[in-house]
C-alpha cells in the first residue's frame, strides 16, 4: 500500500470510451491519502450533450469507491474543468461529502502554497487559430480511436500498457508548442501571484518541474497516460505513472525509486 498526504488526479473524462477506469480503480485501491483533489474534467458533460455518453458498470464502481473514501475520512475536493463546466456553474458547495470549489490554495506539509486550478482559463492567453484548433480536435478523435484499437490488441497479447496517443502527440511540433505555451502561461501566473507552485490538468501532459523558485505541476490524465501527482508527508511531490510503473511503485513502496519528484531548487523536465 502506498501512503501519501495528498493526491491530485485530473481529466478522467468519465462517460467516454477512452476513460481508463480500471487503471484508476486499481490506483485508488492501492493508494491511501488524507486528501484527494479532483482537478477537473472528471465527467465529460460535452460528450453527454453530443449523445456519445457511455456509463458501464465499472464507472459506477469507481464513483462508489470515491464515496467510500469519503466515509473513511478522506477529504475529497472537486475543482471542475471545462468538460464538466456544469458542475462549475453550481459555484462553491458540497455534494455527497465532496467539496466543490472553482479553485483553491493547497498548503503543503513544508509550508509551500500551491494554486490548484483545472487550467482551461490559460487558453485565453494562448495564440491558436480557431480553424486549426477544430482540425486538431477532429484529428485527436481519430487518433483516440486508433489508440483504443491498439490498446485492445496489446491487452489480448498480454503486452504492457502503452499510449499511442501520447506517443504521437509527443512528436507533433504543433501539439508540443501548445504544451510549452500553456506551461509558460501557468508558470507566469503562479509567479506573478506569489505562489510557490501551481497544479493543473487540462492538457493531458503530466509534468513536474521547478523554475525561478516556482514549481509547475500537471496531473496528466486517465485517458492517455494514467498519471497522478502525490505529496508525501514531508511535502515532497511525486509524479506517478501508474499504468507504466505500478508494479515497481508497489514493490518499492517505502522509497518510491520509480517516482519523479521535485523539491525546491531542482528542475525536472518530466
The full DSSP string for 147-161 is: HHHHHHHHHHTTPPP
Going along 151-226, which residue ranges are E strands? 197-200, 207-211, 214-218
pLDDT of residue 94: 92
pLDDT at 151: 66
pTM to 2 decimals? 0.82
The residue whose grid cell reads 475543482 is 79
List the grid coordinates of 172: 507533433
User: What is the H or E stretch that residue 166 is in?
Assistant: helix 164-169
The whole-number pLDDT of residue 173 equals 66
User: What is d(CA 238, CA 255) in angstroms, rounded to the nearest whole number?
Assistant: 11
CATH architecture of 2-262: 4-Layer Sandwich (3.60)
- Cβ 270 vs Cβ 208: under 8 Å: yes
- The number of residues making up the chain comes to 270
| CA 190 from centroid of its chain's CA atoms | 18
Per-residue confidence (pLDDT) for residue 48, from 0 to 100: 73
Instruction: Report residue 269: phi and psi, to 5°.
Output: -75, -20
10-residue block means of pLDDT along the chain (270 residues)?
96 90 94 97 81 71 94 97 87 92 96 97 71 46 66 75 67 76 95 97 94 96 94 97 88 53 34
Q: Which residues in 96-105 are b (16+ Cβ under 10 Å) and which e?
A: eebbbbeebe
Q: So what's the pLDDT on residue 155? A: 75
Residue 230, C-beta contacts closer than 8 angstroms, at least 6 positions apart = 2, 4, 6, 7, 8, 31, 33, 237, 238, 240, 259
Query: How large is the C-alpha radius of gyration of the chain?
Result: 18
Which pLDDT value is given to residue 135?
A: 37
Rounded to whole angstroms, the Cα distance separating 91 from 70 reads: 21
Q: Is the dihedral of CA 109, 111, 112, 115 positive or negative?
A: positive
pLDDT of residue 165: 64
- DSSP letter (8 states) at residue 14: B
Strand partners, 231: 6, 237
Amino acid at each position: 500500500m502506498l501512503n501519501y498526504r495528498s493526491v491530485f488526479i485530473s481529466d478522467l473524462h468519465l462517460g467516454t470510451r477512452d476513460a481508463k477506469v480500471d487503471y484508476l480503480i486499481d490506483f485508488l485501491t492501492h493508494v491511501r491519502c488524507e486528501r484527494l483533489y479532483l482537478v477537473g474534467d472528471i465527467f465529460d458533460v460535452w460528450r453527454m450533450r453530443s449523445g456519445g455518453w457511455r456509463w458501464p458498470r465499472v464507472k459506477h464502481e469507481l464513483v462508489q469507491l470515491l464515496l467510500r473514501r469519503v466515509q473513511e475520512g478522506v477529504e475529497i475536493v472537486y475543482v471542475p474543468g471545462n468538460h464538466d463546466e456544469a458542475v462549475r456553474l453550481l459555484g462553491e458547495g458540497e455534494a455527497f461529502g465532496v467539496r466543490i470549489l472553482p479553485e483553491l490554495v493547497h498548503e503543503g506539509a513544508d509550508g509551500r502554497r500551491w494554486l490548484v486550478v483545472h487550467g482551461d482559463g490559460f487558453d485565453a492567453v494562448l495564440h491558436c487559430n480557431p480553424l486549426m484548433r477544430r482540425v486538431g480536435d477532429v484529428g485527436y478523435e481519430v487518433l483516440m480511436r486508433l489508440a483504443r484499437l491498439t490498446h485492445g490488441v496489446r491487452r489480448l497479447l498480454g503486452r504492457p500498457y502503452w499510449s499511442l496517443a501520447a506517443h504521437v502527440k509527443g512528436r507533433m511540433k504543433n501539439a508540443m508548442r501548445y504544451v510549452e505555451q500553456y506551461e509558460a502561461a501557468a508558470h507566469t501566473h503562479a509567479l506573478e501571484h506569489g505562489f510557490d507552485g501551481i497544479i493543473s490538468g487540462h492538457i493531458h501532459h503530466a509534468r513536474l518541474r521547478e523554475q525561478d523558485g516556482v514549481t509547475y505541476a500537471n496531473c496528466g490524465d486517465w485517458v492517455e497516460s494514467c498519471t497522478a501527482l502525490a505529496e508525501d508527508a514531508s511535502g515532497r511531490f511525486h509524479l506517478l505513472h501508474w499504468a507504466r510503473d505500478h508494479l515497481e511503485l508497489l514493490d518499492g513502496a517505502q522509497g518510491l525509486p520509480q517516482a519523479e519528484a521535485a523539491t525546491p531548487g531542482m528542475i525536472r523536465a518530466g
